[in-house]
A and B are shown apart, each in its own frame.
Chain A
Amino acid sequence: MKEIRCTACERGCLLLADSDLYEISVSGNGCERGREYALAECINPVRCATFNVRVAGGSRPVVSSKTARPVAVAKILPLSRMILRLEVQAPIAAGQTLFASLLGERIVATSSVEKEG
């Protein structure tokens, strides 16, 4: 049994998903969209994750970034832990790839940082 908060609309129903080997059953949903959402959340929940990355030699000490595609929820915290230990070199342009593959995910800058001075 898994509790899932529905985000298909503003109501935010609390869904209950119960699965056996063959089938996932959903209850607590106010509409059909809730059922679909619960199924997606049970099978593989994904999110767009964002991070601040440390910058060396820049006009600002950090640059904002995001994963190039939505990533599995289970990867978000491990990714954040890796990024905390890394650093990139200024200058950085928004959209630039900062890390080509961290746990198989590409991390791109969402803002620009000029070189210091």
Chain B
Amino acid sequence: MKTDVFVIGGGAAGLAAAAKAAERGAHVVLAEPFGLGGRMLTHIECGVGGMTGPELAARLVSGMRASGRVRVLRTAVVRVSPDKTVETAGGDGSFVCTAGAVVLACGGRDVPLSGTGTPFPAGIDGIFTASEALTAHCLFGKRIGRRAVVIGAGGEGLTVARRLALEGTTVVGVTETASSPRASALSVRDCIDDLRIPLYLSARVLSVKGGDRVESVRVSSGSDEFILRCDAVVCAAGRLPDCSLYPFAEVCASGIPAVDSAFMTGSAGFFIAGGALHSCGSPGGTSLSDGSAAGRAAAAYALGGERIRASYSLTAGKGIGYVVPSRFAVGSEFRAAVRPSADIPSGYVIMRSPSGELLFRSNRTALCSGRETLICVPSEAACGDLIVSAEAI
């Protein structure tokens, strides 16, 4: 089988990439082993513009199908070769497909329990990651417990806490190691304020105890130590990019795959977008715009049209955890997703040349280490290598 663009993953980024590539005239194959929509299907809350995840997913799917140039395979990708051959297995069957361009939009994964810093005992029931808890409730219609503790007050943790509370589970508390929630004011309002869920800040989970199933969580908050009784614990420690399908990708110092402003990796014709690349927050936001940009560029690459020449570098400087992309084309506007390494209640994202000359300063904004800030870099600033930093006012 041959195609112009092969898209791996049918979440927000994959659907957007497939739709955009098809719109540009490319023939597209999209592989997704589960339902089209990915994480949007488990985020049933109203998002931007009052649209819920499932509604957005349905709209993206019909937009993608409207072109008539996308073939969807219900199958899992098992191998991607450097010559742009993609092998799949299971579901609709095993395929070997040679593509002109490959878009990896296979999503991220939850930080594994072992990597969260919380001492979870081995072989005990009732411990879930955020995605597992949302999937149980929203896809399988199963409750994870009667009384739950949520660890981590980021966007995902608050979404889970709210969903649990609305499905009859008592959320006995949300704990957060930072001194403020790592989520937007909107999520804090909808979860903590509206549903009166207790939030413990500067709080560390010391131990998780139980027999066959979780029974209690010991928390230290400042000089206080207390026990929360529960039968379920949800660990919402954030998401990690996952491009294990594509081990050839060059990775920046910050641990994020290196891509240019059209989301192409160092290997020509390979693109990475959405959760597979960086932590995009609630599904349907950044991953959508990532996917569109990657799909457009992938079609252009496969059909031999315009290609961007990304020759200048964008690197993370003071106060920045990582920045996407890491390369950009000279003289053209681009979007950058910047993850601050510390919270700054009111500050700027600043871009300087390596010699220290100030080239760009964002509007004043709240910078939160728990989520990315999106910056539109104007063409005037894109005139040489840039170093990004975060500064308080």
> Residues on A close to B: CB < 8 A?
4-7, 10-12, 45, 47-52, 54-55, 60-62, 64, 66, 73, 76-77, 80-81, 84, 94, 110-112
Contacts of A12 in B (CB 8 A): 184-185, 188, 366
A10 and B138 form a contact (CB under 8 A): no
A5 and B141 form a contact (CB under 8 A): no
Contact of B186 among A7, A55, A94, A112 (CB under 8 A): A7
CA–CA, A6 to B188, complex, Å?
A: 10
CA–CA, A94 to B44, complex, Å?
A: 13
B186 and A111 form a contact (CB under 8 A): no
Contact of B188 among A5, A62, A73, A111 (CB under 8 A): A5
Closest-by-CB residue of B relative to A14 is B185
Say whether chain A's binding surface is mostly helix, strand, loop, or mixed.
mixed
Contacts of B44 in A (CB 8 A): 50-52, 64, 66, 110
A94 and B54 form a contact (CB under 8 A): yes
Contacts of B139 in A (CB 8 A): 60, 62
CA–CA, A81 to B168, complex, Å?
A: 7
Contacts of B2 in A (CB 8 A): none
* B194 within 8 A of partner (CB): yes
CA–CA, A54 to B189, complex, Å?
A: 27
Contact of B138 among A52, A55, A66 (CB under 8 A): A52
* B45 within 8 A of partner (CB): yes
Contacts of B391 in A (CB 8 A): none
What 0/1 readout, one digit per residue, does chain B (343-361) give for beta carbons within 8 Å of chain A?
0011000000000000000
CA–CA, A92 to B50, complex, Å?
A: 21
A111 and B58 form a contact (CB under 8 A): yes
* B167 within 8 A of partner (CB): yes
CA–CA, A81 to B195, complex, Å?
A: 13
Closest-by-CB residue of B relative to A54 is B141
Between A and B, 25 residue pairs with Cβ closer than 8 Å are A5-B189, A5-B193, A6-B185, A7-B186, A7-B189, A11-B185, A12-B188, A50-B166, A51-B166, A52-B138, A60-B141, A62-B137, A62-B138, A62-B139, A62-B140, A66-B46, A66-B52, A77-B165, A77-B166, A80-B166, A80-B167, A94-B58, A110-B55, A111-B58, A112-B58
B167 and A61 form a contact (CB under 8 A): no
* B365 within 8 A of partner (CB): yes
* B190 within 8 A of partner (CB): yes
Determine how close the nearest CB of chain B comes to the CB of A42; give it in whole angstroms: 13
